Amino acid sequence: MVPAAGTPSPVHPADALQPSVDGDHTQSLEALGGAENPPETTFRVVLHGDGNATWNVTAEYHLETDADRDAFDDFATDFEGGTADAPFDVETFEQIVAVADDSTDREMAMTAVRRAAEREGNVGTLRVEFTWTAFLASDDGKLVLDDALTTADGDPLLGSLESNQQLVVVTPDGYQVDTTPGVNPDLREGNAWIEGPQLFTAEDRLIITYSPVDTDPTPGTPTEAAGDSWEIIGGAFLIGVAILIAALLYRRKTEGEGVQSDAVVPTAGEDSSGDVPSQPVEGVGGPGEEEAADDEVDLSLLSDEERVERLLEQRGGRMRQAEIVEETGWSDAKVSQLLSRMADEGWIEKLRLGRENLISLPDDVDADGNGGTGGDTGGGGDTGGEGNTGGAGNTDRDTHADE
């Protein structure tokens, strides 16, 4: 789609995926894709520390018949030769870069354009790769993804993603995701993922701030100071142990001197005065106190995954992602990355509700963190056979610490 004069309209990614050539090839590609079976499209943007970005846009076609495969092979030749732009209209990307160049104070360009096509069996892939220079802005040592995909009026240049499309933004080497004040992407292995359908607006556009990762501390920094601190802590520990031993020896000595030779040894059921001690009153100092002690959990001993699971159990098995951020005090980026990893490993389930994510325990885990109603415990004290505890109620996953 060509941006309109004046204030350009947001560019729908699907507008860059429409056939733009005449003849039999266009009809063949429309038959391969179409509304019922569109190609699976991925926009992969690899960011670099110098501010440039490498775009890799791919479309995968599922070819069901020999006619489909022959049509794809014929078109692939023209596509690689640059005589056919479908399904990627390269000119549209060039115009997007030109609009961004006009709306920012950086000189941008689209360079190193490369086209490729391949088919493996029943899957045909068309790919366009190019470099977008000066794609990222710099702000006080941080890199910012925002204005390159935004008009001068603050409107997004990319309007939406369809259900068959996804956008992957790879974090620059030596950096980490700091904040995502706009649309909230999933963080997988430190990279931002947005899967369609997704609508971008002026308020919910893609904004990501990256901060440097400090991996090489200079001499005299907290690394060396930490070594000195451990020596001090070790010395203090030894002194504390010595004081404790001395106190125990003194107590033993004083208790020994205080025992008289004619002291009466109390019999079972009596105290030193000869009286039978009273029985504990029900509800006072009994099992109730032990249960209360069990409920008091030291959160510092729990992994991040266990803390999230405990919060969900306390809230009946469901919470909004924003509530987890508020309860834990963690950053939005850390919570998003943690929840994505937990969802992949089966700890939780995520449901997109408008601009928010609803986090819940899996169906086979109840609100108390127990598995569902599986089989009974096998007889004879053995755990196995058809008497195993579990069945559909088992929770089959490992417990992992935070990355």
CA distance 312 to 324: 9
Q: 108 pLDDT exceeds 90?
A: yes
Determine the pLDDT at residue 295. Answer: 56
Mean pLDDT over 16-20 rounds to: 36
In which band, very low, low, confident or very high, does the pLDDT at 366 lie, cut at 50, 70 and 90?
low
Determine the pLDDT at residue 107. Answer: 93
61 CB-contact burial (10 Å; exposed 0-12 / middle 13-18 / buried 19+)? buried
In which band, very low, low, confident or very high, does the pLDDT at 45 lie, cut at 50, 70 and 90?
very high
In which band, very low, low, confident or very high, does the pLDDT at 131 lie, cut at 50, 70 and 90?
very high
Question: Which of 139, 130, 136, 133 lies closest to 148, judged by CA?
Answer: 136
In which band, very low, low, confident or very high, does the pLDDT at 86 lie, cut at 50, 70 and 90?
low
| Domain residue ranges in the chain | 13-17+39-212, 302-372
* Token code pair at residue 347: 């700890």
280: which DSSP letter? Answer: P
Determine the pLDDT at residue 256. Answer: 57
Determine the pLDDT at residue 51. Answer: 95
Question: Which of 340, 55, 333 lies closest to 175, judged by CA?
Answer: 333
150: which DSSP letter? Answer: B
Determine the pLDDT at residue 384. Answer: 40
- Residue 338 near residue 304 (C-beta atoms within 8 A): yes
**H/E stretch holding 311:** helix 304-314
Helices (H), 86-221: 90-103
Domain topology for 302-372:
Arc Repressor Mutant, subunit A (1.10.10)
314: which DSSP letter? Answer: H
The mean pLDDT of the chain is 73
Q: For residues 258 and 92, which has the higher predicted lDDT (pLDDT)?
A: 92
In which band, very low, low, confident or very high, does the pLDDT at 144 lie, cut at 50, 70 and 90?
very high
In which band, very low, low, confident or very high, does the pLDDT at 371 lie, cut at 50, 70 and 90?
low
Q: For residues 353 and 285, which has the higher predicted lDDT (pLDDT)?
A: 353
**H/E stretch holding 323:** helix 321-328
pLDDT digits (tens, 9 = 90+) for 303-319: 899 999 999 999 999 99
pLDDT digits (tens, 9 = 90+) for 157-210: 888 888 889 999 999 999 999 999 888 899 998 999 999 899 998 888 899 999
CA distance 347 to 306: 9
Mean pLDDT over 68-74 rounds to: 88
Q: 5 pLDDT exceeds 60?
A: no
Query: Beta strand pairing status for 165-170 and 40-47?
Result: parallel
Question: Which of 332, 361, 331, 366 lies closest to 346, judged by CA?
Answer: 361
Q: 321 pLDDT exceeds 70?
A: yes
Residue carrying the six token digits 């449901």: 351
Residue carrying the six token digits 């391949």: 118
Q: For residues 365 and 24, which has the higher predicted lDDT (pLDDT)?
A: 365
In which band, very low, low, confident or very high, does the pLDDT at 264 lie, cut at 50, 70 and 90?
very low
Determine the pLDDT at residue 23. Answer: 39
pLDDT digits (tens, 9 = 90+) for 274-291: 454 445 444 444 444 444
* Token code pair at residue 257: 């001197």
In which band, very low, low, confident or very high, does the pLDDT at 143 lie, cut at 50, 70 and 90?
very high
Determine the pLDDT at residue 389. Answer: 41
* Token code pair at residue 220: 């005299």
Q: For residues 34 and 53, which has the higher predicted lDDT (pLDDT)?
A: 53
Straight-line distance from the first to the last Cα atom of the chain, in angstroms, rounded to the nearest whole number: 42
% pLDDT > 70, the chain: 63
Determine the pLDDT at residue 87. Answer: 56
Report the predicted TM-score, pTM, of the whole model to 2 decimal places. 0.53
In which band, very low, low, confident or very high, does the pLDDT at 93 lie, cut at 50, 70 and 90?
confident
- Residue 211 near residue 176 (C-beta atoms within 8 A): yes
pLDDT digits (tens, 9 = 90+) for 225-241: 455 556 677 677 778 77
Q: How far is CA 378 from CA 3, 298, 388, in A?
A: 69, 34, 5
For every residue of 10-70, DSSP letters joined together read PBPGGGGGS----SHHHHHHHHHSTTTSPPEEEEEEEE-TTS-EEEEEEEEEE--SHHHHH
CA distance 329 to 327: 6
Q: For residues 380 and 108, which has the higher predicted lDDT (pLDDT)?
A: 108
